Chain A
Amino acid sequence: EPEVTQTPSHQVTQMGQEVILRCVPISNHLYFYWYRQILGQKVEFLVSFYNNEISEKSEIFDDQFSVERPDGSNFTLKIRSTKLEDSAMYFCASSEVMGRGYTFGSGTRLTVV
């Protein structure tokens, strides 16, 4: 069964540093998403991406965040200057149809110290 692959599985970074979280969506999917989950809380939408541009973003997704699809297979989330409150699990997802048939990756646990 096709999978969404995320790397690394765990990233520890110092406050103020830049991090890039990487994702390889399912190859025939056209819609890409990032979500985050702070420990013990619900999964929260960050951003959706289609046709090489952001379709929608939440209020969490401020100027410190950016997404990119640098080639035909990768989809990245960059946090420019990490804060302690950015510590969370970050999930990438993709779908063939907008808002339907999501597949989530296993996540990257980001720890900001």
Chain B
Amino acid sequence: GESVGLHLPTLSVQEGDNSIINCAYSNSASDYFIWYKQESGKGPQFIIDIRSNMDKRQGQRVTVLLNKTVKHLSLQIAATQPGDSAVYFCAENPQGGKLIFGQGTELSVKP
């Protein structure tokens, strides 16, 4: 079946440290992956995406790594700030238009 799951439901980091959020996916046909940030009471906000023909992509303070061999996706946030506190979801696009979301990891940044 299709599933996208996260290894850690909660993550607490100190301000200024780097954060790593992990995600496992099961659909080999997925060719596009996205990380979303969701703050309380708001919709998912795009952070970064990656296509299956890449294994790494960098944005501003964020990096996504894709390991297709073990079907693993990670989001790295450099110099984590209090404003990064939110729930982070990975999502995959196996085909067509729909996205399959993971359960989410709650990131808490301690000042």
Q: Interface residues, chain A, CB within 8 Å of chain B?
A: 4, 31, 33, 35, 41-45, 48, 50, 55-56, 58, 91, 93, 95, 98-100, 102-107
- Within B21-78, the residues touching A (CB, 8 Å) are 32, 34, 36, 41-46, 49
A99 to B103, CA, bound (A): 20
Residues A91 and B101 in contact, CB atoms below 8 Å apart: no
B45 surroundings in chain A (CB, below 8 A):
104
8 inter-chain pairs at a CB distance below 8 angstroms, sorted by A residue, are A33-B97, A42-B102, A45-B100, A56-B96, A98-B96, A99-B98, A106-B42, A107-B43
Overall SS of chain A's interface:
strand
**Tally of A-B Cβ pairs under 8 angstroms:** 61
A105 to B45, CA, bound (A): 9
Contact of A105 with B43 at beta-carbon distance under 8 Å, contacts A42-B104, A100-B32 already known: yes
**Distance from A97 Cβ to chain B, minimum over Cβ atoms (Å):** 9
A33 to B103, CA, bound (A): 20
Contact of A104 with B97 at beta-carbon distance under 8 Å, contacts A42-B103, A42-B104 already known: no
Number of B positions contacting A (CB below 8 A): 23
Q: Interface residues, chain B, CB within 8 Å of chain A?
A: 32, 34, 36, 41-46, 49, 89, 91, 93, 95-104
Question: Top 7 closest A-B pairs, CB basis?
Answer: A104-B43, A48-B97, A43-B101, A45-B98, A99-B97, A99-B93, A98-B97
B32 surroundings in chain A (CB, below 8 A):
99-100
Residues A44 and B101 in contact, CB atoms below 8 Å apart: yes
**Distance from B42 Cβ to chain A, minimum over Cβ atoms (Å):** 5
**Distance from A34 Cβ to chain B, minimum over Cβ atoms (Å):** 11
**Distance from B44 Cβ to chain A, minimum over Cβ atoms (Å):** 5
Extra contacts besides A42-B104, A43-B101, A100-B93 (5): CB < 8 Å: A42-B103, A48-B98, A55-B97, A104-B45, A105-B43
Residues B44 and A43 in contact, CB atoms below 8 Å apart: yes
B89 surroundings in chain A (CB, below 8 A):
42-43
**Distance from B29 Cβ to chain A, minimum over Cβ atoms (Å):** 12
